[in-house]
């Protein structure tokens, strides 16, 4: 039993879009939820937020960076190949209702799940502004899709190679100074979401962060995705992934994820040494 890959597209360097035949996941999927997959029997569990789905054709779309051992294996698969396991949808769907004016902010490949969320907000009758930020133009993707679900679509890049040079918070601050914002949704790198939360806290704008922390089993058993929200321990996989950004202890998460990143870097270096020795 496996899940057939229908298409694979390299969106930019090391950034891939894969469409998978996954009837059950698609039937029950909601904006903001995620799946966990294993490429093969010996594969690690890889959590990925659902980027898009087509219920009529049972197509699930995921977008990922090929940066670790398992995601690089996933990126090498071709249409017709199969993913060994795919569990989901997992997590609680994003709360979608007519808030009024909603700003969706995405950093890096967080733009993929932000599309489905922005689309849901738009369909609920909101005025939707979308801000997408990246280091450089080559990391910006799905521009037409994002524009199609946004009343206004903004791009910022660190080097100014596309859109406005600067940070997503620069553009958010500008919008905040021009009109009333009722709701902010942010997804992407932890430091970026922390900066957004600090900015909106000053104006008391309700802000939600999608906390895509380290996950293993997706059921709350392993505890790797734990975080502190409002002084209480939560688990992103079962209590989230969405949380009130003004209550999240971002510093704690940054410290914990840095440890995992150091371990992953060491693991990849060891794998490279072994491969070179063969």
Task: Report domain extents, the chain.
Answer: 3-90, 101-256
CATH architecture of 3-90: Beta Barrel (2.40)
Question: Do 3-90 and 101-256 share a fold?
Answer: no
Q: What does pTM read for this prediction?
A: 0.86
pLDDT in tens, 77-112: 999 999 998 988 999 999 999 999 999 999 877 788
- CATH for 101-256 (3.40.50.80, 3.90.1150.10, 1.10.10.1150, 3.40.50.2300): 3.40.50.80
| E strand or H helix at 172 | helix 168-178
pLDDT in tens, 8-62: 999 888 889 999 999 989 998 999 999 988 888 887 888 888 999 999 999 999 9
Query: Sign of torsion, CA 195 226 241 217?
Result: positive
Give the C-alpha separation, 135 to 156, whole Å: 8
């Amino acid at each position: 039993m496996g899940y057939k890959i229908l298409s694979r597209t390299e969106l930019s360097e090391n950034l891939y879009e894969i469409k998978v035949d996954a009837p059950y996941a698609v039937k029950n999927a909601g904006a903001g939820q995620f799946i966990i997959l294993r490429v093969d029997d010996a594969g690690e569990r890889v959590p990925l937020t659902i980027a898009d789905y087509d219920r009529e054709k049972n197509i699930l779309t995921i977008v990922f960076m090929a940066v670790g051992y398992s995601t690089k294996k996933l990126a090498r698969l071709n249409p017709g190949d199969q993913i060994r396991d795919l569990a989901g949808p997992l997590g609680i769907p994003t709360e979608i209702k007519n808030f009024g004016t909603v700003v969706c902010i995405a950093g890096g490949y967080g733009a993929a799940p932000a599309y489905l969320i922005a689309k849901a907000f738009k369909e609920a009758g909101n005025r939707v502004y979308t801000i997408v930020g990246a280091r450089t133009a080559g990391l910006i993707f799905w521009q037409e899709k994002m524009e199609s679900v946004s009343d206004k679509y903004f791009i910022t890049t660190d080097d100014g190679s596309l859109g406005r040079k600067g940070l997503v918070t620069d553009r958010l601050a500008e919008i905040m100074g021009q009109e009333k914002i009722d709701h902010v949704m942010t997804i992407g790198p932890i430091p970026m979401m922390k900066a957004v939360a600090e900015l909106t806290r000053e104006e008391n704008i309700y802000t939600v962060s999608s906390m895509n922390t380290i996950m293993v089993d997706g059921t709350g058993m392993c505890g790797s995705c734990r975080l502190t929200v409002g002084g209480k321990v939560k688990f992103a996989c079962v209590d989230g992934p969405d949380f009130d950004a003004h209550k999240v202890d971002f510093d704690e998460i940054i410290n914990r994820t840095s440890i995992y990143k150091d371990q992953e870097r060491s693991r990849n270096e060891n794998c490279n040494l072994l491969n070179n020795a063969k």
